[in-house]
Amino acid sequence: MTHPADWTTPADGPGSGPGSSPGGGPDSGSDTAPAPGGAAGLTTAEVAERVANGLVNDVPVRSSRSVGEIVRTNVFTRFNAIIGVLFAVILVVGPIQDGLFGLVIVANTAIGIIQEVRAKRTLDSLALIGEARPRVRRDGATTQIAVAEIVLDDTVLLGIGDKVIVDGAVTEAEGLEIDESLLTGEPDPVLKHPGDQVMSGSFVVAGAGAFTATKVGRQAYAAQLAEEASRFTLVKSELRTGIDTILRFITYLLVPTAIGLVISQWTVEHNDWREAVRRTVAGIVPMVPEGLVLLTSVAFAIGVVRLGRRQCLVQELPAIEGLARVDTVCLDKTGTLTEGGMDVQELRTLNGTGDVEWLRQALAVMARADARPNASMQAVLDAYGTPPPPEQPAPGNGSEQATGSNTAPPEHGNSNTEPPEPGNSAEHWRVLEAVPFSSARKWSGVQLAEPGGTEAGWLLGAPDVLLPAGHPALAEVDELGTQGLRVLLLGRTPVPLAAPDAAAALTPLALVVLKQRLRPDAADTLRYFADQQVQAKVISGDSAVSVGAVAAGLDLPGADHPLDARTLPGDPDELAETAERTTVFGRVTPQQKRDLVGALQSRGRHVAMTGDGVNDVLALKDADIGVAMGSGSEATRAVAQIVLLDDRFATLPSVVAEGRRVIGNIERVASLFLVKTVYSVLLALLVVFTQVPYPFLPRHSTVLSGLTIGIPAFFLALAPNNERARPGFVRRVLRMAVPAGVIAGTATFTAYALARSDHATDLKADTSVATLTLFLVAIWVLAIVARPYTWWRLLLIGTMGGAFALVLVVPWLSDFFQLKLAGLRDPWTGVAIAVLAGLLLEVVWRFVRRGLHQES
């Protein structure tokens, strides 16, 4: 179907339709050489000249960091520097098996880089799919090009929902209203006229037009803002903030503890400085929770890749975390619960007024007068509209368009056929003025010169907006609305369209009944949210009764009590109360959508907003997580954190589940890493105060960390997890990690001290007892963190235990790790101490779990 903007010749754009300013009409494709940026746009030669001079929109659209940035971020970290220095020290003093921790860091860093590069490639490929392709006029023809291909003086065409890509000056305007709120904070759209400036980053909310690019590339306004805040910058993230807080505290604790450990080991092992160095390194290395940062990055990266396979573009990584915290999803009906298209089901005259054929002709003219029709007007266009004959506008009035009347609707979706002659009459409709649809006013209109020489305004819009309360037709509208049908009122008025109240003297003539196409997966998706205790709310600009009927048909709880947003209270507290208790809202303006999102957030709700239209932009921007449909307007895709490229509403459960998996599992494995840090610091302090050799060599720390934390944490971080995240990440993690770490450290040092009292000269045997005790306590902590059990989690715990048993019993492994249990008393004493510590851990876990249940 040819777009209404291209009725006559390929040269026509938005400005060539009815009501456009002079210069954008059909003769813009004449052979006369246009001025740069004129009606026919630049020529191929002029474009090539500007490209050669570098006057192109060369700002790269970055959805992720560069490979170099990823490598630097993963390699040059504070903790890698600490571990790297300690690894270098071990390489000097030897033996190499005590430097295994360095190889682990290299492997971890490599894994992090590989996973993030995979995520980057996924993001970049999806970003190309979802990238805006603006329409420009070149050589008299309208074409779509990539954003980076726009050059200075290009004529860029605009329609509803289009984002202004570069700065420019308006050359054509047909009711062109630009929303600049994302740039200036001004909430009201600005009506633009030829000569007015438009800024990149703004978007069209009504009308159509064109502008000449005056600033491209890094000179454009939005590009200058992007220089200050890269697109990849991490938005507020409690997880990242919490981990940074923990790491900062650990750094402060690590320095004095490490100094004390160095002094004590040099004092104790003054006859063997190499042994002193090795045991000092063994005490410092496990204090560093290096894997925690790595697994956080890997979990985010794998989340991006998994969502990418479902055609879901994550534009900001912390959006994955935000998904886990969502407890309320605000849905726009059109394009979310229903598919974008509609069908005209019936044209119902009111009170027997108006000839049906005459009304069809008027609707056909109105539909063709809309340069960028929305879904409702597109349905009217498909049903009644055919392209007008290629007539020139009347001389001296470039905004008028003569159109033939329509005697019969064309085939559905076919608007390219030549229209029939208007009966046996030469009478024509003529468009004198056109006012495009706006979400704020809820109607569109045209001023028509009618057959017979009369002139009137024709309006098509929301019946409950155009008609006074209590009008008899509204009862009929409500009855149709209860069937889930969308209803528009067609009326005629003598009042000029530019009047403050164009509908003041409206004569209602007919109801246009539209059938909406429900998404087949909408009901299952809403059921999923209900099962996951995520409240779904429908916020729509349509009639409350119609929206409620659609929602009720999908079995959404509370849909039987829809609320008309025009009755919403102005008081913020009352608005928040209403937003909490109501499920379905109708006749919501774009500003009210934003207010409702804010009201829910004021009650502590974490809100996700879905939408596809320009009327959703403000709410999407303010929501905790904005989710846009891939086929939606450029403006919605630009402000959303997540874009569903395949438009499948059923993808949302997978998106939410992925967010919960990432945040829940990071919180789970964070406890493991911090338990290790706590018991390492405690052991170091006890060693400093008692002036004994540190119980482990670096190789012992490596095997303990690998089997009880590193390997299990990697698998646990990728496991399914449907628990909704809650605030208080640091508090919850430390609530388990601190007491568990204290218990593990105390039990280990007790077993070590008892073994030393039995044979103080056999340091290898004492270390072996301490290693056995710590492994048993640490594996018990792992068993607690891995709950609830599944077959693979039990297998994971059993495999780690079996691997440690092999280290003890296989001769070459026990020699490599210098582990040898002497006698029976000390090893069994260590086992008994570990069991007591495990029972104490169970008591602590019971109290922690009770506290978590009370919080939730």
List the catalytic residues: 332
Distances (CA, A) of 28 to 40, 142, 235, 398, 431: 5, 11, 47, 12, 20
Count of all residues that appear for the chain in the document? 856
Structural tokens at position 62 = 């970055």
Residue 760 region, left (φ>0) first, then alpha (ψ -120 to 50), else beta? alpha
DSSP class of residue 164 equals -
Q: Facing residues of 165 across strands?
A: none
Are 13 and 210 contacting, i.e. CB atoms less than 8 angstroms apart? yes
DSSP-assigned states of every residue in 167-208: EEEEEEEEEEEEE-HHHH---S-EE--TT-EE-BTBEEEEEE
* Strands of the sheet with 455-461, listed across from one edge: 338-349, 507-518, 486-493, 455-461, 443-449, 429-435, 401-403
Backbone torsions φ then ψ of 710, nearest 5 degrees: -60, -60
SS3 of residue 259 by DSSP: helix
What string of H, E and C letters represents the secondary structure of 217-256? HHHCHHHHHHHHCCCCCCCCCHHHHHHHHHHHHHHHHHHH
Q: In one letter, which amino acid is 503?
A: A
Count of beta carbons in the 10 Å neighbourhood of residue 558:
17
Are 166 and 215 contacting, i.e. CB atoms less than 8 angstroms apart? yes
Q: Which residue has the tokens 């890997």?
A: 298
Rounded to whole angstroms, how far apart are CA atoms 564 and 543?
Answer: 7
Q: Which residue has the tokens 């409690």?
A: 238
SS3 of residue 683 by DSSP: helix
DSSP class of residue 658 equals H
- Residue 812 burial (10 A CB sphere; 0-12, 13-18, 19+): exposed
Distance between first and last Cα of the chain: 54
- Residue 783 burial (10 A CB sphere; 0-12, 13-18, 19+): buried
SS3 of residue 493 by DSSP: strand
Distances (CA, A) of 305 to 119, 221, 554, 584: 5, 32, 31, 34
Count of beta carbons in the 10 Å neighbourhood of residue 840:
18
Backbone torsions φ then ψ of 606, nearest 5 degrees: -100, 110
DSSP class of residue 499 equals S
Which pairing describes strands 167-179 and 141-144: parallel, antiparallel, or unpaired? unpaired
Q: Which residue has the tokens 């004095």?
A: 256
Distances (CA, A) of 323 to 23, 215, 722, 747: 49, 37, 11, 40
Structural tokens at position 725 = 């995240």
Rounded to whole angstroms, how far apart are CA atoms 718 and 299?
Answer: 7
Q: In one letter, which amino acid is 832?
A: A
Sign of the alpha-carbon dihedral angle for 735, 738, 740, 742: negative
Rounded to whole angstroms, how far apart are CA atoms 190 and 207?
Answer: 11
SS3 of residue 115 by DSSP: helix
Rounded to whole angstroms, how far apart are CA atoms 671 and 218?
Answer: 45
Rounded to whole angstroms, how far apart are CA atoms 119 and 314?
Answer: 10
Which pairing describes strands 642-644 and 312-314: parallel, antiparallel, or unpaired? antiparallel
Distances (CA, A) of 801 to 30, 97, 508, 695, 775: 83, 21, 80, 21, 9
DSSP class of residue 234 equals -
